Homo-oligomer: A and B are copies of this chain.
Amino acid sequence: MSPLETDRVILGDCVEAMNALPANSVDVIFADPPYNLCLGGELHRPDNSRVDGVDDAWDRFDDRAAYDRFTHAWLTAARRVLKDTGTIWVIGSYHNIYRVGSALQDLDFWLLNDIVWRKSNPMPNFRGTRFTNAHETLLWCSKAKDARYTFNYDAMKALNDGTQMRSDWTLPLCTGQERLKTEGGDKLHPTQKPAGLLYRVILASSQPGDVILDPFFGTGTTGAVAKALGRHWLGIEQDQDYAKAATARIARIEAGTDPALLHNPGRKAEPRIPFGSLLERGLLKPGTVLFDAQRRHTARVRADGSLIAADVKGSIHQVGATLQGAPSCNGWTFWHFELKGAPVPLDVLRQKVRAELAERMN
């Protein structure tokens, strides 16, 4: 077999293309396979605008068994081209990631971490039917339990302001200037991943000069970041338009650009403390009676963190404002509870939680 020719896009099916590559030849694989979303009808926002869901042909499978066969096939091909010291990353959502995770384990990949990409700006759940689906999952595996692999611990620690990088990464979606557009101004690809995500993946698990393979190349984010970080890359993509756009995009990147220019650290976790968390933490119990400093008003705490007074229900702020006839009210300082016979403002509890959180959350 000929030696590996890198820094190019291979047009075609990813299994066939990988099988045409030399075995044990790439250092890292990053894969963003179809999620098999199975979306039904249309979805509208409360303002009646239509949500542009993923309905592309490449995301449609006959059934779960067909998706499992597809997953097994491409992971098998990926395993062959991956060096014994290499690692593979796969990203997915709850629709597919449990199939992928099981398949990886069945193929004797060894799970090193599962990483949660916390989206700082996810799409809300418009109908109020579930929790806002605000994250995706990345699986990071070595080829075997006892395999040696690359993990740039110190680079990750530095990227995280001196404390160990955790398994949850807070990063925004790929939007704005970063998102590739058609000439008509629409998004070119329905699921373009943010460069910040690939930055962490590649920086964590490869060395300069390594080869990064992406079998579902799409708009080529993997190639763009790999090139900027001084790595070689190889993309496989079956859609000609995507392949063309990716090639052009990567050509515009300067190789080995100062990583600081690309550096896109996640936002710090906000120290916002919902009032409800005091209940979850057992610092306050449902039924606790709250009152203002002058003891002119009282209200009781409900299990969900709302307050109930004679005629009013709502947040600590809303109820405080309504009872006073004021336009607004800071419930944290307005409301007090009784502790050993003395009135204590709620804010004391918030400060307690903040102090605990500040200890190690990054």
> A residues 271-310 with Cβ under 8 Å of B?
272, 274-277, 279-282, 285-287, 300-306, 308
Structural contact, B120 and A94, CB atoms closer than 8 A: no
Number of this chain's copies in the assembly equals 2
**Contact indicator A120/B282 (Cβ below 8 Å):** no
**Distance between Cα atoms of A195 and B285 in the complex (Å):** 13
Given the interface contacts A261-B300, A304-B159, A360-B121, does A256 sit within 8 Å of B101 by beta carbon?
no
Task: List residues of chain B with CB within 8 A of the CB of A199.
Answer: 279-280
Q: Mark A225-266, 1 if CB is under 8 A from B, else 0.
A: 000110000000000000000000000000010101110100
CA distance in complex: A191, B51 (Å): 42
Q: A50 CB to closest chain B CB, in angstroms?
A: 8
CB pair A168–B118 under 8 Å, yes or no, is yes
* A167 close to chain B: CB less than 8 A: yes
What residue of chain B has the Cβ atom nearest to residue A166's Cβ? B134
- Which of these binds chain B: A76-84, A106-114, A210-218? A106-114
Report yes or no: A305 in contact with B114, Cβ–Cβ below 8 A. Answer: no
Q: A residues within 8 Å of B by Cβ?
A: 38, 42, 44, 48, 60, 64, 94-95, 97-102, 104-106, 108, 111-116, 118, 120-122, 124-125, 128-135, 137, 139-140, 145, 151-156, 158-162, 164-168, 170-172, 178, 195-196, 199-200, 203-204, 228-229, 256, 258, 260-262, 264, 268-269, 272, 274-277, 279-282, 285-287, 300-306, 308, 315, 324, 326-329, 356-357, 359-361
10 A-B pairs closest in CB distance: A98-B101, A159-B276, A196-B280, A155-B304, A134-B166, A161-B274, A94-B114, A48-B326, A128-B153, A102-B102
